[in-house]
Structure 1
Amino acid sequence: MKKRFWQLVLLMSVFFGNLGLIAHAENLNYSVSAELPKNQITDSVSYFDLKVTPGQTQDLTIRIKNSDSQAHTYIVSPNRAMTNDNGVIDYSQAKAKSDASLKFDIKSALSPKQTVKVPAKTTKKVTIKLTVPKKDFSGIALGGINVIQEKNTDSSKKSSGTTIENQYAYVIGLQIREKAKIDVKPNMKLLQVKAQQINYRNYVTAQLENTEPVIMHGLKVKSYVTKVGSSKKLLTTDKENMAMAPNSNFNFALGDGKKPLQAGKYTLHLTATSDKGKYKWNFTKNFTISQDKAKSLNKTSVEKTKSYFWWFVGLGVLIVILLGLVIWLLIKNRRQNNDQ
């Protein structure tokens, strides 16, 4: 039996004012909420926004409400916030690699993953321990408490064939800082440019890094690729309404993934702005796509597969024409015999 599990984190806002999550689905039979403590900075939000001091320890409490008629087990995972390749802050990735610029990892300050069983029609409190490092940290540390219902293995064994299971998760955002006012400014670096394959489509990707402990809001990127020494734009990609988690990076993809890669020497031209244009960065970087790299990626791209599809379509049309011709000849021959 083959299975794919898609964890859908619903309605998660990446912006400062709305880190809390309420997931909705017709068949969702549980909910999660946070008990906001006294050191909460903003009381009007549903996520943890805490002012802390060096060396402080604190128990954070969330409530899991099981509305179903049977008991369920839930997996509670405190995670570090990261930026996915769509330019969205993601709190659900437990195994995400930390960025090299990260000095204080909030995940290391939280108690590890735990499983919690909640009886039917019951609300249960779950405690996550926060231990703030003794050394001061600047800006904010951003993470989230991810809650997902454990799969029912008994029902899974009864199914057969290839199935797709959608798993809905709740995330309670967690933001901690030592100062109520954040005085850190975002900063972007371009780490590398390369050709790579994403979901069997070929792109040129620019790895962008937010090197500072602050959220980068309202990120807009305008980019294009030329041959080295040329002004002709070969690829152009603009995107807005993105965000980056503190001390994180992501791969910004250029192109639509529909064209085969061509070997050669190229130049990336990229401009990024954030916070309604308050911050701006300009990058120009040369990169090379080798013959071997282009050949390897083009061979496994989905567009290559599509070419076979149209070949089969053409073959099918030819077979239909030949069958039609045979039928026409048979009918013609029968009419000639009848005339004789």
Structure 2
Amino acid sequence: MKTKKIIITSLSVISFLLPITKVAHADSANFSVTPTIGKNQIGTNVGYFNLLLKPNQTQKLDFTLYNNASQTIKIKTTFGTAFTSQSGSVGYTPDLVKPDPSLKLNLKDYVKLPKTVTIPAKSTAKVTATVTSPATSFQGVIAGGFNFEDVNDTTNANQKSGISITNRYRYVIGLVLQNSEKKIAPTLSLGKVAPDQVNERNVIAAKLTNAAPAYLMQMNTSAVVTKSDDASVKYTYNNAAMEMAPNSNFSLAIPVSLQGVLNGQSSQPLKPGKYHLKMTVYGAKDAKGQYETMVNDQVTKYDYRWIFDKDFTITQAKANTLNAKDATVTQKSKVDWLLIVGFIIIILLLLIIIFLLFKRRKKDDELQEKEKE
């Protein structure tokens, strides 16, 4: 039996601006990473680098890696620019998402570090990265994350099921760089709204962009999509635990189809027509904030609020294409009337031919009878 391979990637991500420990952990990982936090760190008791540097200033950043395995391991080191994932969280995987056009200074261009480091069994190794602040002064922050990944795959095979599981562990330690501690407000804009699919499920995708060099934290989003000529069609989305990276964008997926395990249920197909999206987004919780809303039956105040309204259209062709690919939409068999009419015409022609042949045969028989007489 051919063996199936499933790769499971275990990620341990240190999020920016949140209380965290200094060492990243991943269950069953065979190595650990500890950053050495310097004196020019903004904020204390955090496990990421939040540096205040002058233009063109350079600083060395040290990491201690410990190999707790009984064999030598090789660690791949990379740096990824901060981005916003499809789920509305900040990520740092290198080159996974194309940077937003508003990003003028990409932090990965100012970071140098070794590509790999080899660590003997039960030993430690030091990795030193060099960070140089851009020569031109900038406002706000630029951000990214150091990625440490074990290139030695740990594979567990199950002979009965024919499945092998490969575990890969990655530690991510963030880096925020700024020239001053002056606070910059995040911005938010709504771009294209259109039907799309995520994991073979129909969604309404609404592109959100934070074009400011600032994090948008504690992002609370609520959206309602309605069909202009059919009040029964209504799609909603609510999430009070989102965030966006500086100068980033992502497409917010508003579910249209059923999600998760279906248990035999099916989704309503996406219908063509004119639609309207109304979305409200709050950001940055603050007891003194000027905007308030209810979160888990509690009044919650925020510093920022954005309200968006946008019309969009779903064509019949687009709806048909997405419905055909949605694993949860049961496609009803469509009656091909043209084919049915064609069959009827063919049957009628055959009946006419049979009738004419029968009539001709009868006539011939009558002539033969007369000739015999």
Q: How does the TM-score come out when normalised to structure 1?
A: 0.82
Distance 1:102 1:125, change over 3 A: same
Residue 234 of structure 1 aligns to a residue whose secondary structure is strand
Counterpart in the other structure of 2:89: 88
- Tell whether the 8 Å contact from 2:22 to 2:46 is kept in structure 1 after alignment: yes
Alignment match, 1:283: 308
- Whether 1:301 aligns to 2:335 is no
Q: What is the CA–CA distance in structure 1 between the aligned matches of 2:172 and 2:64, rounded to whole Å?
A: 12
Number of the residue aligned with 1:264: 273
Aligned residue for 2:318, secondary structure, equals helix
Q: How does 1:188-207 map to 2 (within 5 A)?
A: 188-207=188-207
C-alpha deviation, 1:162, in angstroms: 4.5
Distance 1:158 1:237, change over 3 A: closer
- Cα offset, 1:299, TM superposition: 1.0
Q: Which runs of 5+ in 2 are unaligned?
A: 259-266, 286-301, 333-373
**2:7 aligned with 1:5, yes or no?**
yes
CA–CA separation in structure 1 for the residues paired with 2:213 and 2:193:
24
Q: Which whole-Å CA distance do the structure 2 matches of 1:158 and 1:117 have between them? A: 30
Deviation at 1:113, TM superposition (A): 6.5
**Larger C-alpha radius of gyration, 1 or 2?**
2
Q: Which residue of 1 aligns with 2:126?
A: 125
Stretch moving more, 13-22 or 231-240: 13-22
1:208 and 2:217 equivalent?
no
Q: Distance in 2 between matches of 1:243 and 1:156?
A: 35
In 1, are the aligned partners of 2:4 and 2:163 still within 8 Å (CA)? yes
Shift of 1:165: 2.3
Q: CA RMSD in A?
A: 2.7
Identity of aligned residues (%): 34
Alpha-carbon offset, residue 207 of structure 1: 1.0
Cα distance in 2 for partners of 1:140, 1:127 equals 22
Q: Quick one: structure 1 residues 156 and 109, their matched pair in 2 at CA, closer, same or farther if it must change by over 3 Å?
A: farther
Structure 2 CA distance, aligned partners of 1:198 and 1:266? 20
Q: What's 1:332 paired with?
A: none
Contact 2:23/2:35 (8 A) holds in 1: no
| Change in 2 beyond 3 A, CA 1:19/1:185 | farther
> For residue 171 of structure 1, what is the aligned residue in structure 2?
172
The 2-side partners of 1:15 and 1:288 are apart by 39
Contact kept, 8 Å, 1:145 with 1:174, in 2: the verdict is yes
* 1:138 and 1:178 in contact (8 A); partners too: yes
Structure 2 counterparts to residues 143-182 of structure 1, below 5 A: 143-152=144-153, 161-179=162-180, 181-182=181-182
The amino acid across from 2:217 in the alignment is: H
Stretches of structure 1 lacking an aligned partner (at least 5 in a row): 308-340
- What displacement does 1:17 show? 4.4
Count of aligned residue pairs for this structure pair: 305
- Letter aligned with residue 322 of structure 2: L
Higher relative contact order structure (alpha carbons within 8 Å, sequence separation ≥ 6) = 1
Equivalent AA in structure 2 for residue 102 of structure 1: L
